[in-house]
Structure formats: C-alpha cells, structure tokens
Amino acid sequence: MQRRHTTIATTGTVAVLAAALLGASPGAPASAAKADGQLYLVQAVPGIEVDVEVDGRPVEQDVATGDVVGPWELPAGAQELTLSNDDWSTDVGVRLTSGAATDVVLHLPAARGGDPVASTYAVPDAPIGPGKARVVLAHTATAPPADVRVDGRTVFTNIANGEYAEADVPSGGHAVALLPSGSDRGAFLGPIDVDLPAETVTMVYAVGSPQDNSMRAVAHSAALASDGSVAPTRIETGSSAGLARDLLTAVLGPR
C-alpha cells in the first residue's frame, strides 16, 4: 500500500506522471492480469483527515485532503469500505472486478453544508494506441453542473456532481478548465496545464467549492498497454454528462 501526496492546483501545470504524483514512474499497466481487484481511495474533502477500514479491518489512518492511498489488493466481488473521523462515519459498498482498479472518491456534495459522500469510478484500462493518452475528469466539487473546456474549446457539457467524462486524446500538454454549464466565463477551476504522457490513464477529480475559492484538482495515473492503433478511437461520458462531439473532434483530433 502506498500513500501518494498528490499535486493539487487551481491554475498552472499539473504534471500528472511526475514524481510528485507517482514516485519515480507509473506502475504496471492497469490492464495487467491479476486474480484480485485493486482499490484506491481519493480523499477530496477539504480540511479533514479520515481513517479507512476494509471489511472491518483498519488499513489506513489520518488520510489528508489530496491524498491518494492504495492500491489494496482485494478479492474480486463485494467489499465494504468504512471511512470515518471523530465527527462522522460512512460505509461504502464496492464491487471489484478481477484484474481491474476502482477509485473510491470521498468528496462533498453539490449543495453547500452537506456531509461527505463517496463516489466510485472504475479505472478504464483497455489498451490504447501509441501517441495517445486516456483522461477521466470527474466532477466531485461543491458546484452546479459544469462544462469542460480543453485547449480553449468546450468539449463536454452539463457534467453534474458525481458524473465524469472520459476521452482518449493525443499525448502531451492540454489546458483544461471547468466552467458553469452554458457559460464561457467565470471558470470554477483552471485553466490547468495537464501533461498526459503516452499510453497512460489519468484520473482527475475536481474538488472544493468556487464560493470559497477552494477549487482544486486531485489526480493519479497508471500505465496502459498499447493496442497498436494510430488515431484516437474512444470518446465516452458517464451518466448523463453531455458531449459536444463536433468540438471534441476539432480539439482532440480525428476519431
């Protein structure tokens, strides 16, 4: 088990595979065959520390804001994660898939003043073509639905708290911002310059609240196997998040 003290930024550069996030280098490809599933916790609630139990067994204490802890190698199937501190406790049911990784993100709800909630995200580990990178951006902030702007163009629309957007994009640097849905000004977050190395998947979580200027990004990454293809092939959104497909093609290249 590792604890990663991730880079958290509002503007500027997030080098998501740099030593600040991952140590010396990415781990083994996320699709590597394993009998167990992998579980990570992303602690995205500002100003608190939490303790972690898996199926009643303590595995980590004092997990601070911005920490990514894990992976815990656990049998595939149903697992129960308990997250707590002196003021509250919550149980999170997670179903793990053999050989796959899952993120549990502890974050605040869209409405101010709510108790922390947990959302789960499967780390997409399908092979990817040379020169491409996969990015998942999840809205886990205390903020209304948002649009995602990449390199100055709106590419995902109306992503609500708990939802996510996923794309395979050309590797390299991209400027990413989160704005109120339907607006072209007053960004909640960013723009952040995100470096996406080839053949990796990067999970990026927008956290905090624009009302108190606490918006941040928390990220972690893993290596992917190559599928040998040339052009970007996959564009997906989670839940009801909308996708501006024509703009996405213009920004991120042919599909």
Query: In whole numbers, what is the pLDDT of the chain averaged over residues?
Result: 80
pLDDT of 239 higher than 70: no
In the chain, beta strands by DSSP E: 2-5, 12-15, 36-43, 49-54, 57-64, 67-75, 77-84, 89-96, 101-107, 117-122, 132-139, 146-150, 153-159, 164-170, 172-180, 189-196, 200-207, 216-223, 235-237, 242-243
Query: Per residue in 158-200, pLDDT tens?
Result: 999 999 989 898 999 999 899 999 988 888 898 988 899 999 9
| Average pLDDT over every residue of 109-134 | 92
pLDDT band at 69 (very low <50, low <70, confident <90, very high): very high
Mapping DSSP to helix (H, G, I), strand (E, B) and coil, where does residue 7 land? Answer: coil
pLDDT band at 29 (very low <50, low <70, confident <90, very high): low
pLDDT attached to residue 42:
96
pLDDT attached to residue 130:
92
pLDDT attached to residue 98:
94
Q: What is the identity of the amino acid at 187? A: A
pLDDT attached to residue 75:
95
pLDDT of 252 higher than 70: no
pLDDT attached to residue 102:
96
pLDDT band at 46 (very low <50, low <70, confident <90, very high): confident
pLDDT band at 153 (very low <50, low <70, confident <90, very high): confident
The dihedral through the CA atoms of 77, 237, 27, 17 has a sign that is negative
Query: Per residue in 201-236, pLDDT tens?
Result: 999 999 988 888 888 899 999 999 988 665 544 444
Lowest mean per-residue pLDDT among 9-18, 103-112, 136-145, 228-237:
9-18
| Average pLDDT over every residue of 27-43 | 72
| Average pLDDT over every residue of 90-116 | 92
**Which phi-psi region, left, alpha or beta, contains residue 252 (left: φ > 0; alpha: ψ -120 to 50)?**
alpha
pLDDT of 50 higher than 60: yes
Q: State how far the Cα of 84 lies from the Cα of 99, in Å rounded to an integer.
A: 28
pLDDT attached to residue 118:
94
pLDDT attached to residue 247:
32
pLDDT of 40 higher than 50: yes
